[in-house]
A and B are shown apart, each in its own frame.
Chain A
Amino acid sequence: MFSILEINRTLVKNNGMRTSRKTVSQEAMDAEWLEIQAAQKDPAMFRPLYNRYFDPIFRFIYRRTADEMLTADLCSQVFLKALQRLNAYTYQGVPFSAWLFRIASNEVSQHYRQYKKNRVVSVEETNFADVMDELHEPDNEQLRQALILVLNQLKESDLQLIEMRFFERLPFKEIADILGITESNAKVKTYRILERMKTQIKKVTGAGH
């Protein structure tokens, strides 16, 4: 016995959304799933996956440590854990890289918890300009200082979004895959965080800039 309610349209819209240049195609994911299945049977077959993702995973961790040797250690741990857990991995329509990035993110968090240190956030010159542009604010020294103050107040999950979107310039789809949320969710959250940051920057600078 059912009650039927019809809706005129799909609930997740893609109208007008920019397509990602880095989105993994379905064919690539299908081909990769075959590689993963081969590696599940024989760990030595993990090599192509390791070679493909070592560099991006390394860079991901390095942005969060700014320490090459520490990054090398953590990166090695990430791939070891990936190999150890590979048998439990199943293809869910999300790129394999997203799973690896998630392990990497957890390894970084664990490291900082263990050593009770503040985790590193790498910021480059161009990142400031990107964020200010998004906030519709001019890029000057005063506002940069205010931005750093505001970023310092963000909780980890919010900072992660800003970091991935504006510092690492990842497309929303990839961010969503890594965080295990929907693409529209990632966009909405990012916009909300930016709105809050804008308000905070105004408070910090006295809104007189």
Chain B
Amino acid sequence: MGNKYNFEFNPKRLSSEDIEKHQDFDALLEKFSQEKPTGQNRSARIRRIAYVGGAIAAGIAVLWFMLVVNPTERRTPPSQIAEAYFASQPFVNPPIADVQPAFVNFEINAQTGGEILYASGSKLVIPRQAFRNDRGENIRGEVDIRFRELIDYVDFFLAGVPMTYDSSGVRYHFESAGMLEIYAEQDGRPVHLAPGKRIEVVLFSEILVDDLNVKPAFNVYKLDTAARQWLYYGPDQIEFLDEISYDKDDPLAEAKENLLTRLKSINQKEDAALAELEATIPVPVKPLRPFPNDPNVTTFEFPTDIPNSQVAALYEGTVWQLSPNNAPFDENMLVEYQWNLESIEKINNQEYEIVLTKPDFTLRILAAPTLIGEDYQKALQRYEADQKAYEIALAERENKLTLQRDAINAWAAEEREAAIATYDKTMEETSFVNTSPSSVFRRKVINRFTVNSLGLWNCDRPVRPDKKEVMFPLKDQKGNVYQNMTAFVVDKTHNTIYRYYAGEDQPLPLEESSENLLWVVTEDQKLALLRAVKPDEETSEMILTLIDEVLASEADVRRVLVF
């Protein structure tokens, strides 16, 4: 067999100075300004690949649109018409005026701050002295907090939140891991967060993932309605929870069920193997640090024949000191009555729970063994020696276990990869007319971030939807034509909503790998929609279904837009 590679053994080593000779940023900048940029490569969409830096999201580039157009001489490109349409719309544009995701109201004391717990498990931690009025004065007294979460496409639709993001002249589409909108008022007047004050946010939500091993990164953005853009604030500290689900009517439900069951089994075996491994070498016992006696705190001693000899062996001349964590009780009881010592149990590094009984009464107290004078010094020296030995034993144990632990983890990772490969194969083999089955799972997450001002905050990532453009007039079953308006599209691969301009000769991008739900809002605030749209080139006309009912609530909209 011929050589595939040229092996160079012990090549000449280059020093930093050797390399620095070739370093010339000014020459690079000069070359960059002279050369045209290379084309941006669009790599084929790979179903499960982790997001790679440098990949280019599909989207509409921000264009300059013509200020003066003579329609008889120049035909405005469709993208410019769409751009002009959306530029003329309010930036936040709730499509059904009377139906909005509801805010909930809380009251908080401005001086003390506090925590607000939402039904979903989400939490806001508001610091003390957090609010100021319009004159810049600190607020005192009760403040009304209005707060809502926007989690899925129905929320995004009803709230009219924009889902595009412009960065350096490129437009990206956002996929959200959850949004939070928060305002504060006092006596009906808006108040603001004081400079330097931040509200901690814990936001429970759900994202769509197609690779269970990849942890997508999300960022935090704030909506700037004046500038009509999202402002980047930093990374989202996102935590993935164990709860994973999928749609019941998912064509791959059985395969997903099998995968999740298999993954659960692998996790259990891994846990069991690790537990068994940990048990092979007992964990060294951490020595108890002695604490010197505090003369200001009540202390007491036990008779020498206490039942727990381990305690007596650890400390000679031990004096027990009451813990500040005790519930209030009459300390005189300790000396006024005769007690039976029922038990002494160590509950943490320092404290013991001591249970004392007498007829018809049981007293539980927390106390710590303390030492005085020379006893303390001796115990401290003994402790320091024991602590060193403990740390050595711990490190030795860790060394012995690491290799085997790595092997168990590697086995489990291999098994997971095999399980996912089996699922992937099933997915590829399953064929659906005109549409590929969705590979996504729903995963519960917790987003953690801080906000430094009130308004709408979003945990997002830019996505690269795999769109195929279709062009057909939007009509409903009654012959109504829908033009010069917003068409809303969602699919099953990303937690987002797309807004396109519905008009003559306007392409409508639809997700190739999923079913799509498309709808418009009529002038009388009803919905005309098309379910399970497949981007088929041969399609020249699609008839929307006009839902001829007045939508009075979010629940109504969710029922109609179920997908």
Contact = CB atoms under 8 A, between A and B. Distances in A.
Given A7-B244, A15-B274, A88-B40, A151 B172 contact: no
B402 interface: yes
A120 interface: yes
A85 B38 contact: yes
A63 to B, nearest CB: 8
Interface stretch (B63-71, B140-148, B210-218): B210-218
Contacts of A123: 7-10
Interface in B5-38: 5-12, 14, 16, 18-20, 22-23, 25, 27-29, 31-33, 35, 37-38
A113 to B, nearest CB: 13
Most buried by B among A68, A102, A153: A68
A125 B7 CA distance: 12
Contact of B409 (A5, A15, A66): A15
Interface in B397-450: 401-402, 405-406, 408-410, 412-414, 416-417, 442
A84 B36 CA distance: 8
A80 B248 contact: no
A118 B4 contact: yes
A91 to B, nearest CB: 7
A66 B11 contact: yes
Interface stretch (B235-243, B330-338, B363-371, B474-482): B235-243
Contacts of B57: 90
Contact of A5 (B3, B170, B257, B410): B257
A181 B5 contact: no
B551 to A, nearest CB: 21
Contacts of B55: 88
A175 to B, nearest CB: 13
B235 A93 contact: yes
A124 interface: yes
Contact of B245 (A5, A59, A90): A5
A207 interface: no
A8 B429 CA distance: 30
Contacts of A72: 22
Interface residues of B, number: 88
Q: Would you call the interface of chain B mostly helix, strand, loop, or mixed?
A: mixed
B309 to A, nearest CB: 37
Interface stretch (B119-127, B260-268, B286-294, B483-491): B260-268
A59 B19 contact: yes
B19 A54 contact: yes
A204 B4 CA distance: 17
Interface in A74-112: 75-76, 79-81, 83-85, 87-94, 96, 98-99, 102-103
Given A18-B402, A188-B414, A1 B267 contact: no
A51 interface: yes
A195 B27 CA distance: 47
A59 B38 CA distance: 25
Given A3-B245, A7-B242, A81-B38, A66 B8 contact: yes
Nearest to A88: B56
Contact of B267 (A8, A71, A182): A8
Interface in A121-176: 121-125, 148, 151-154, 159
Nearest to B237: A26
B328 interface: no
A153 B4 CA distance: 7
B244 A5 contact: yes
B188 interface: no
B103 interface: no
B6 to A, nearest CB: 5
Given A5-B257, A90-B462, A153-B1, A124 B10 contact: yes
A58 B53 contact: no
Q: Would you call the interface of chain A mostly helix, strand, loop, or mixed?
A: helix
Interface stretch (B44-52, B175-183, B539-547): B44-52
Contacts of B212: 11
B102 interface: no
Contacts of B50: 180-182
A4 B32 CA distance: 53
A139 to B, nearest CB: 14
A24 B19 CA distance: 23
A146 to B, nearest CB: 13
B28 A6 contact: no
A58 B24 CA distance: 13
Given A12-B215, A124-B10, A180 B32 contact: no
Contacts of A1: 247-249
Given A11-B213, A99-B54, A188 B267 contact: no
B169 interface: yes
Contacts of B321: none
Given A16-B409, A91-B235, 9 more contacts: A2-B245, A3-B246, A5-B264, A10-B242, A16-B405, A80-B32, A88-B54, A94-B51, A152-B7
Closest 9 CB pairs of A and B: A93-B217, A16-B405, A99-B53, A184-B413, A72-B22, A66-B8, A40-B168, A84-B37, A66-B11
25 contacts: A3-B253, A5-B261, A8-B271, A12-B215, A13-B413, A40-B168, A43-B29, A50-B23, A62-B14, A63-B11, A68-B22, A84-B38, A88-B54, A90-B462, A93-B215, A118-B5, A122-B11, A180-B50, A182-B213, A182-B214, A184-B213, A184-B409, A184-B413, A184-B416, A188-B413
Interface of B: 1, 3-12, 14, 16, 18-20, 22-23, 25, 27-29, 31-33, 35, 37-38, 40, 49-57, 167-170, 172, 212-217, 219, 232, 234-235, 240, 242-249, 253, 257, 260-261, 263-264, 267-268, 270-271, 274, 401-402, 405-406, 408-410, 412-414, 416-417, 442, 461-462
Interface of A: 1-13, 15-18, 26, 29-30, 37, 40-41, 43-44, 46-47, 50-51, 54-55, 58-59, 62-63, 66, 68, 71-72, 75-76, 79-81, 83-85, 87-94, 96, 98-99, 102-103, 117-125, 148, 151-154, 159, 180-182, 184-185, 187-188, 191-192
